[in-house]
Structures are given as structure tokens and as C-alpha cells.
Amino acid sequence: MPRIAAPTVAEHHANQRRAVLDAARDLLGETAQLPSMAAIGKRAGLARTSVYQYFGSAEELLAAVVADVFPDWAARVLDRVEAADSPAARVWAYVEANVDLFTSSEQQVARALTMLVAPDVLRRPMEAFHARIRGPLRDALADFGDPDPDTVATLVDTLIVTAARHAVDSDTATDDADGAATRRVALDGLRRLIGPYLERGPANAG
């Protein structure tokens, strides 16, 4: 019987499965392309045949990555929002957390999944992700005193996506290996647009 690196066989298998998922995600983030099962196994420290013990095909593995990453991304955003100490700070924490996702290697993962995974496999996890993070943003805006938090939440999301895409496409993003300059460009623009609103409050905006 093969040696196991965990107190129980079940924990060993869970750890190995986790290693395969992490390896697939890392490679997607590095290349934005579908890695081979052999490459995934090598990154996870497993033989190619061992990868198939956990996922029967590349499609099954990608579906598992989809099911894994969206809750993780949502948790990253929500942890930042929940740690903020005021409604205005929660809104800005939401902005920063989303920009961090857009300007990190996670965006490469998202781009790869969009190209490689069938839309019907992506749809529900994406919808669940947006619904999960939108609620706390809407609540923060309501607590901040905005009279129409649903509309403003939509506008905030639109601004984040637009600013992040502009920053990624800008000259600043060239050779920006760690995404720091791209992040700065996106946040500078959003700070100019959203910052005054958060400083003045909705009653004094406009």
C-alpha cells in the first residue's frame, strides 16, 4: 500500500486533490491556457496517472476549478469588506478588493476559464459570486445613507470593471510583473471618482 502523508487515507486523498486543484489554478494563472494533466501532476508532485485518480478528464478538472475559485474570490472580497470599520470604508474596501482581483494573476485564471469552460458550467458559479459580493456592497451603501443603493452598487461595479480594464490595457501595464503599477492606475482613477462621494456623503453629492 502506498505511503500516505496524512493521519487518514481520506485526509491524504483530500490533500492530494487539493494539490491538483492548486496546481491547475497556478498554471492557468501563469499561461491563461489549458495545462496538460502531466504538467498539472508535475506541479502537484504527482504522476500523470495519479491525477486521473482524482479527476477523470481535463473537463472534469476545469469544472472543479470553477467550483473552487469563485467562492474563494468572493471570500477575499467579503473578508476585506467585513474588516472595514465604517460604511464608507466598507465601500472602499470592496473597490480595492475587486481591483486586486482584476490586476492579479487571478484575472488570468478567470480569462482562461472563460475561454476553456462551457458557458453553462460557468453561469451559476459566476451568478452566485456576483450575488454574494453585491449584497454587502448594497448594505454598506444603504448604511452610508445612499437613497438608491442598488443603482449605486451597479454603478460602482461598472466603474471598477472599466477602470481595471483601462489600467490593464494601459502602457503602465507593460512589464508590470506583479501588477502593482496596474493596480495603482486603476485605484487612482476610482479614488478620483468615488473618493469625493465617500468623503461628502450622498446628501451632499452632486
Across 28-65, b (16+ Cβ under 10 Å) vs e yields bbeebebbebebbbbbbebeeeebbebbeebeebbbbb
Q: Is residue 84 part of a domain?
A: yes
Whether residue 180 sits in one domain with residue 107:
yes
In a domain, 61, yes or no: no
| CATH code for the domain in which residue 87 is found | 1.10.357
CB 99 within 8 A of CB 163: yes
175, pLDDT greater than 70: no
Confidence of residue 94 (pLDDT cuts 50, 70, 90): very high
Which residue range is the domain that position 74 belongs to?
66-204
pTM comes to 0.86
Do 82 and 41 reside in the same domain of the chain?
A: no
